[in-house]
Amino acid sequence: MNKALRKAVIAGNWKMNKTRPEAKALIGELAPLVKGAGCDVVICVPYTNLETALEATRGTDIKVGAENCHWAPSGAFTGEISAEMLAELGVEYVIVGHSERRQYFGETDETVNKRTRAALDAGLKVILCVGELLHQREAGITEEVVGLQTKIALAGMTKEDLKNIIIAYEPVWAIGTGKTATAAQANEVNHYIRTVVQKLYDKAAADAMTIQYGGSMNAANADELTAQPDVDGGLIGGASLKAADFAAIVKAAGR
Ligand code: PGA
């Protein structure tokens, strides 16, 4: 598996943080720090910050994403936002299947699959999250869990679709806990996901797939994590809210 065959992507996941003025200030601070980055840089922000982020990132190397989307193009789904609405705004990326959506908002592998389909159909790039819970890791079923999540999420996706999908491996026990997976653990599961993709499609598709790690990645551990052969950047929560920290991670991944 050759790392040079694919792109590293560092994506920030702001979660439910930042008002519009705060968003504008953070992007203003971040943009000069990631200019000419050696990897792709994305910030996924709350819906209310999308227009502000699109405006503030114009002419910079930062791309904008949302944190979720619904699978229907429109309809009676109070409180939801469709992929088409995001695409129409000029948004390029969307996170689908984040563990917090699975844990608190009833997201299932099937709805992850539907949202992924809708996002791709609307022309968005998808950051598709998978990851095991602590008790699943302890029970030794990480590969089964992550493999199943990946297979169901990708059901019906063509090889062409894969070009617009990034997989983010995020062990749930490492998210927001300060408890990072070791570089070896991250690489092991990322490699496993790549073999799942290879079995579903082929080696070329697996080689070309960007597979990120996420879960307490920060300025101090990004070098080691992103240097792993199967870790193609990261999905960053807490550390994406501080310009200097996020920029340091971007720098590490761009080496
Ligand atoms: P964290 O979040 O970096 O704060 O652990 C990662 C994520 O939830 O995507």
The 10s digit of each residue's pLDDT in 129-183 is 999 999 999 999 999 999 999 999 999 999 999 999 999 999 999 998 888 889 9
What is the residue whose two structure tokens read 């089964």?
144
| Number of domains the chain is built from | 1
Catalytic residue (one of 98, 100, 107, 132)? 98
What average pLDDT does range 243-255 have in this prediction? 96
* Residues of the chain above pLDDT 70, percent: 100
Q: Is 99 exposed, middle or buried (0-12, 13-18, 19+ CB in 10 A)?
A: buried
- Which candidate, 226, 244, 123, 177, places its Cα nearest to that of 235? 226
34, 4 in Cβ contact below 8 A?
no
Structure tokens at 194: 């790549």
| Other beta carbons less than 10 A from residue 85's beta carbon | 18
- In-domain check, residue 4: no
pTM of the entire predicted model: 0.98
The 10s digit of each residue's pLDDT in 56-110 is 999 999 999 999 999 999 999 999 999 999 999 999 999 999 999 999 999 999 9
Whether 214 lines ligand 1, by a CB cut-off of 6 Å, is: yes
Residue 188: CATH number of its domain: 3.20.20.70
- Which residues pair with residue 41 across a beta bridge? 10, 62
- In-domain check, residue 47: yes
| Other beta carbons less than 10 A from residue 25's beta carbon | 14
- Domain with 245, as residue range(s), is 9-70+80-254
- Does the annotation mark 135 as catalytic? no
